[in-house]
């Protein structure tokens, strides 16, 4: 083979990897998307013609592989543990006291990390190359999702050497997430396609990783943050802080809001800071993980059956309140999907007045046995749309009324069709000329992501359509 082609492929692989890292991990691209695409297309062309040049860590491997029939299972080299929870400062102080007693030492410092609300995964690198990715599963055995994880742009396919070294084996653990804005647009697109929306970013991340066809995973905006290790060969760390610094240098995204090597008092102060910061983050967190910084101490503390003694999850108070459902109305979407929405007695949940909650679909209402006039527990978690968690049944007084989906479209009065999608029933108005659908189509057309027509908002569209203009 012509050496020029071999060199060109190697150069493109190296450069594309570097640009992808700059874009997806450092958030600091130095070339345009068009230039990146041009280089990628050229590399695909070369690798298609000369498949022997298509190395396992080539950036072309991120587009997905042929679909699987089923996921294989794999045992973790070391069990993937879950975390015990702390709910107040007292729980954390007791955790600290247990550690002091257990170690007979008082020089304990901690590392604190945002507790990401995603899907825990393990990535195995052999001689620096990603060879296996698994879900946590039951902690002992997980599902093999290597091809899916390869499509996550911020996951390095090959480790950067650090101080000239590549470990023989490095297992890295982290959380796959979807940022909130990406989640919103994913759901928006799904709604437009008449597909079932995801309830929250974590479900969207889990659903995207669980695809047998990795090209579907490749189309989803997945991200990762790493925070720990499994089996190590040819590398070791003396502190959690050192481990995190290494992972960052090796090319992984490590969260920016981690504090390293701090006292118990600073841990408690850090929790309050993180809680205040939470709304401003681009992704959902549900607490803070506190880890003993010294890894020798971690080993000495060991673990219980399912959780380590050297770490604890300090959970944020759930932002939830009880309120009443005054009515249930039905919204007609752009593609005619009928969505029931609960109109709530307005209630302040963690500083935000909530007066509506989506009920998703008819099945959700049946499953939770939700009725008009019911008192309900509403949660406003990281996800933007408030959700009804459950009905407070012992507050029922007989005034509750069952809700049923209308037989005809509440806007155009034409008949409704039922569809089964992903085990749920979707009610749809199939009248293309339904006024609600026309309004939603126009709203979509002028929206930021489409024609971005400034000044043509909901109110004007309503008037134009109502006036038959």
Footprint on this chain of ligand 9MJ (rule: CB under 6 A): 81, 83, 113, 115-116, 175, 227-228, 289, 311
What is the closest distance, in whole angstroms, from the C-beta atom of residue 279 to ligand 9MJ in the complex? 18
Q: Which tokens belong to 7?
A: 């060199």
H or E element at residue 290: strand 285-292
Nearer to ligand 9MJ, 120 or 365 (CB): 120
- 191 versus 383: smaller Cβ distance to ligand 9MJ: 383
401 tagged catalytic: no
- Other Cβ atoms less than 10 A from the Cβ of 327: the count is 12
Q: How far is CA 238 from CA 9, 178, 249, in A?
A: 39, 31, 16
Q: State the number of CA atoms in the 13 A half-sphere of 428 facing the CB.
A: 21
Q: What number of CA atoms fall less than 13 Å from residue 243's CA on the CB side?
A: 26
- How many CB atoms lie under 10 A from the CB of residue 128? 20
Whole-angstrom Cα Rg for the chain = 26
Question: Nearer to ligand 9MJ by C-beta: 143 or 175?
Answer: 175
Q: State which residue, 53 or 289, has the beta carbon closest to ligand 9MJ.
A: 289
- Dihedral of CA 101/103/109/110: which sign? negative
Q: How far apart are the first and last CA of the chain?
A: 66
Identity of the residue, 227 or 403, whose beta carbon is nearer to ligand 9MJ in the bound complex? 227
CB 309 within 8 A of CB 99: yes
Provide the strand spans (E) within 304-449. 311-315, 320-332, 338-349, 352-358, 375-379, 387-391, 416-421, 424-429
**Calpha distance 417→408 (Å, rounded):** 9
Of the two residues 172 and 434, which places its CB atom closer to ligand 9MJ in the complex? 172
CB of 311 to ligand 9MJ, least distance (A): 5
Q: Of these residues, 61, 115, 291, 439, which one is catalytic?
A: 115
- Nearest approach in angstroms of CB 314 to ligand 9MJ is 11
Identity of the residue, 46 or 289, whose beta carbon is nearer to ligand 9MJ in the bound complex:
289
Q: Are 40 and 59 in contact (CB under 8 A)?
A: yes
Q: How far is CA 437 from the centre of its chain?
A: 30
Cα separation, 198 vs 186, whole angstroms: 9
Q: Looking at beta carbons only, is 110 or 403 nearer to ligand 9MJ?
A: 110
Is 319 within 8 Å of 380 (Cβ atoms)?
yes
Name beta bridge partners: 419: 426
The two structure tokens encoding residue 207? 């659903």
Q: How far is CA 425 from CA 51, 294, 331, 363, 421, in A?
A: 46, 53, 16, 7, 6
CB of 200 to ligand 9MJ, least distance (A): 15
* CA distances (Å), origin 213, targets 66, 102, 146, 208: 7, 48, 12, 10
Catalytically active residues are 115
């Amino acid at each position: 083979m012509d050496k020029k082609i071999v060199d060109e492929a190697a150069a493109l692989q190296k450069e594309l990897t570097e640009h992808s890292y700059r874009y997806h991990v450092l958030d600091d691209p130095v070339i345009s998307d068009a230039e990146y695409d041009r280089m990628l297309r050229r590399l695909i062309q070369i690798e298609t013609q000369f498949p022997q040049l298509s190395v396992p860590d080539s950036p072309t491997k991120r587009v997905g592989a042929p679909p699987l029939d089923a996921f294989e299972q794999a045992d973790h080299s070391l069990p993937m543990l879950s975390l015990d929870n702390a709910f107040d400062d007292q729980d954390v102080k007791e955790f600290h006291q247990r550690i002091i007693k257990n170690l007979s030492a008082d020089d304990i410092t901690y590392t604190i990390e945002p507790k990401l609300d995603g899907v825990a995964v393990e990535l195995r690198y052999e001689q620096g190359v990603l060879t296996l990715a698994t879900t946590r599963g039951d902690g002992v055995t997980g599902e093999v999702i290597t091809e899916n994880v390869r499509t996550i742009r911020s996951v390095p396919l090959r480790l950067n050497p650090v101080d000239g070294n590549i470990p023989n084996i490095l297992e890295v653990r982290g959380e796959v997430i979807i940022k909130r804005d990406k989640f919103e647009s994913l759901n928006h697109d799904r709604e437009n396609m008449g597909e079932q929306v995801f309830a929250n970013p974590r479900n969207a991340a889990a659903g995207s990783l669980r695809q047998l066809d990795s090209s579907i995973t490749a189309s989803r905006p997945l991200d990762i943050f790493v925070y720990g290790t499994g089996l190590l060969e040819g590398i070791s760390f003396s502190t959690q802080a050192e481990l995190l610094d290494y992972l960052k240098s090796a090319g992984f995204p490590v969260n920016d809001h981690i504090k390293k090597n701090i006292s118990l008092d600073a841990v408690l102060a850090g929790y309050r800071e993180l809680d205040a910061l939470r709304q401003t983050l681009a992704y959902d967190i549900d607490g803070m993980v506190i880890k003993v910084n010294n890894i020798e101490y971690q080993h000495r503390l060991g673990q219980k059956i399912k959780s380590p003694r050297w770490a604890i999850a300090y959970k944020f108070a759930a932002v939830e309140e009880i309120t009443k459902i005054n009515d249930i109305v039905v919204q007609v979407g752009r593609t005619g999907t009928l969505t029931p929405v609960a109109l709530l007695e307005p209630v302040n949940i963690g500083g935000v007045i909530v007066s509506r909650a989506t009920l998703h679909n008819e099945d959700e209402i049946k499953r939770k046995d939700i009725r008009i006039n019911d008192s309900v527990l509403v949660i406003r978690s990281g996800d933007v749309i408030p959700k009804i968690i459950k009905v407070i049944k012992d507050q029922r007084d007989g005034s509750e009324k069952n809700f049923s989906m209308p037989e005809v479209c509440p806007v155009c009065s034409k008949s409704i069709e039922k569809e089964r999608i992903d085990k749920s029933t979707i009610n749809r108005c199939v009248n293309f000329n339904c006024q609600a659908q026309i309004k939603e189509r126009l709203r979509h057309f002028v929206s930021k992501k489409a024609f971005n027509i400034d000044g043509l908002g909901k109110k004007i569209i309503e008037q134009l359509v109502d006036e038959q203009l």
